[in-house]
Amino acid sequence: MVSFNGVLACSSITEGTTMEQYAGIDVSLESASVCVVDETGRIVREAKLACEPAALIAWLGKLEVGMARLGLEAGPLSQWLYAGMREVGLSVELLEMEADNLATASVGRCAA
């Protein structure tokens, strides 16, 4: 596994098999809601964090597995968060979603 400032940046190995994990980050002015799922779509972990790069990077760094990819909701704070996360080598992508698609995608998957 590759580590950038303590953040694992690749898939993890669980019981002899490679298990990709992915994180979606829903951004608001006051907080960021993070939902981590495995490659089967099973929710692995959720959190509500301060909406700042250092908080997201620190939380991701505490996970015992790496993220194959991070999806970051595009919005007013996204460029700042994106730049901070890319700076430490995280594989983060900005996601443009219409409000109705975002709500449909998140309802029932992860509690914000």
Strands 3-4 and 12-14: what pairing? Answer: unpaired
Q: Does the pLDDT at position 17 exceed 60?
A: no
Cα–Cα distance measured from residue 15 to residue 5, given in angstroms and rounded to the nearest whole number:
26
Query: What is the band of 37 on the pLDDT scale with cuts at 50, 70, 90?
Result: very high
Q: With beta carbons less than 8 A apart as the criterion, state whether 29 and 81 touch.
A: no
- SS3 state of residue 22: strand
Q: Does the pLDDT at position 3 exceed 60?
A: no
Task: Kindly report the pTM of this predicted structure.
Answer: 0.69
Please name which of 9, 21, 24 lies closest in space to residue 91, comparing C-alpha atoms.
9
| Helix or strand (DSSP H, E) at 82 | helix 78-87
Amino acid identity, position 103: A
| Tokens 């908080």, located at residue | 55
Give residue-wise pLDDT tens across range 55-86.
999 999 998 778 889 999 988 888 999 999 99
